[in-house]
Amino acid sequence: MADKISKGTTFEAQEVVDKYRAIYYAGASGDFNPIHIDPEFGKMVGLGGVILHGLCALGFVAKSVTDWAGDPGKLKKLRCRFATPVHIEDVITVTGEVLDVSGGRASLSLRVARQNGDEVEKNVMAEVEV
């Protein structure tokens, strides 16, 4: 939880993609594309198996930010560019830094990478209410 948010403040969070995550997300979102739920199909199309829905991975980022900020209602903006697929059992690390605080909001730059260092989302920015 962020006790005092100021320029230069940093935080880090991790999430492990459990083997059922893509199935849970498919049910919640209605997106049953076989690349997300069928390991054999994912291999056949060159993805190495099932890949996680991009918005589910972005959900990990949102959770990291709101856990750090201490209140889900404080997240006001979130954006990214999806860069690399996330696979089952990947460990996603979100590292954030406050770039600026003004007008009652903090602007954050975020790095989102899996265990091998590959960024799974790029140009990740968020704004939180302070």
pLDDT digit string, tens, across residues 12-41: 999 999 999 999 999 999 999 999 999 999
What is the mean pLDDT of the segment spanning 103-128? 97
- For the chain, percent of residues with pLDDT exceeding 70: 98
pLDDT tens-digit map of 52-79 = 999 999 999 999 999 999 999 999 999 9
pLDDT for the residue numbered 1: 46
- SS3 label, residue 38: coil
% residues pLDDT > 90 (the chain): 96
Cα–Cα distance for residue pair 2/126, rounded to 1 Å = 15
115 vs 127: CA distance, rounded Å: 26
**The two structure tokens encoding residue 80:** 């990214």
Residue for token digits 């991975």? 57
CA–CA distances in Å: residue 9 to residues 3, 4, 15:
10, 8, 21
Query: Which pLDDT does position 3 carry in this prediction?
Result: 59
> For the chain, what are the domain ranges?
10-129
Residue 49 has pLDDT above 60, yes or no: yes
What architecture is the 10-129 domain classified under in CATH? Roll (3.10)
Global pTM value: 0.91
Element (H, E) at 25: helix 21-29
Mean pLDDT of 73-97: 97
